[in-house]
Amino acid sequence: MKRWIAVLCGLSLVSSLQAYDPDVDDEFKAKEKAEREVVLPAFPVMEKLIRLDVGPAEENRYFLDPDSISVDEDGEARYTLVTFSTQGVRNVSHEGMSCPDRQRRPYAFGRPDGSWSKARSPRWQKFYDIPGSRHFATIFLEHLCPDGIIVRSVEQVQKSLRSKAPRQ
Q: Read off the pTM.
A: 0.76
What phi and psi values does residue 138 have, to the nearest 5 degrees? -65, -45
Structural Rg of the chain based on CA atoms:
21
Provide the mean pLDDT of the chain: 81
pLDDT for res 75: 82
Please count the residues of the chain: 168
Half-sphere exposure of 86 (CA within 13 A, CB side): 3
Residue 1 has a pLDDT of: 54
- Interacting residues of 134 by C-beta distance below 8 A, sequence separation 6+: 54, 55, 57, 58
Tell me the per-residue pLDDT of 38-49, one tens digit each, with 9 for 90 and over: 889 999 999 999
d(CA 7, CA 10) in angstroms, rounded, equals 5
Percentage above 70 pLDDT, the chain: 77
pLDDT grade for 168, boundaries at 50, 70 and 90 = low
Most confident option among 17-26, 101-110, 121-130: 101-110
